[in-house]
Amino acid sequence: MTGTKSERTLVEEWRAILAVHARTACELDRELHQHGLGASDFEVLDVLAGGDPADGGCTFRVQELADRVHLSQSALSRLVARLEKDGLVNRGICDEDRRGVRVGITDLGRTRYDVAKPGQRAVLERMLGDA
C-alpha cells in the first residue's frame, strides 16, 4: 500500500460506512413501507420529481435513471415496470431515439412522493445529520 492510512484503518472505515448504510437503509425501508414504497422506489420518484421542466419535463431515459439511482439497467427495468403497474410512473418512447425508453412520474406518483418525502428526509437527517 502506498497511501498514508494503514490497511487496518481503511478496512475499519469501510466497515463503518457499510454499517451506517445498512442502518439507514433499514430505517428508510421502515419509514417508506407505510407509503407502499421501498427505498429504491423512492429514489426513482425522487429523481423524476426533481427533473427540470425546462429540460423537457420530469422524464429521464432508463440509462440516466440507472446512473442516478445506482441500479443495473435490468434491476431498474423491473422496478420501473412495478412502479408503472402501480400507476406511479409511465414509460414512453424517446422522441430523440425511437429505440430508447423515457420514464416519467405520474400525478399519483408525485402525490405519493410528496407524502413520503418528509419522513424520508427526517430519517436521513436523523441517521446522517452528524456524519
pLDDT of residue 57: 54
Residue 52 reports pLDDT greater than 60: no
d(CA 119, CA 89): 21
Residue 11 reports pLDDT greater than 90: yes
Grade residue 63 by pLDDT with cuts at 50, 70 and 90.
confident
Full-model pTM: 0.84
Higher pLDDT, 67 or 4: 67
What ranges in 1-131 are assigned the alpha helix state H?
7-33, 39-49, 62-69, 73-85, 107-128
pLDDT of residue 98: 62
Higher pLDDT, 39 or 59: 39
- Rounded (10°) CA dihedral 51, 129, 67, 47: -20
Cell reading at 87: 400507476
Cell reading at 89: 410512473
Higher pLDDT, 71 or 33: 33
pLDDT of residue 60: 84
Percent of the chain's residues with pLDDT above 90:
65
Residue 30 reports pLDDT greater than 90: yes
Grade residue 83 by pLDDT with cuts at 50, 70 and 90.
very high
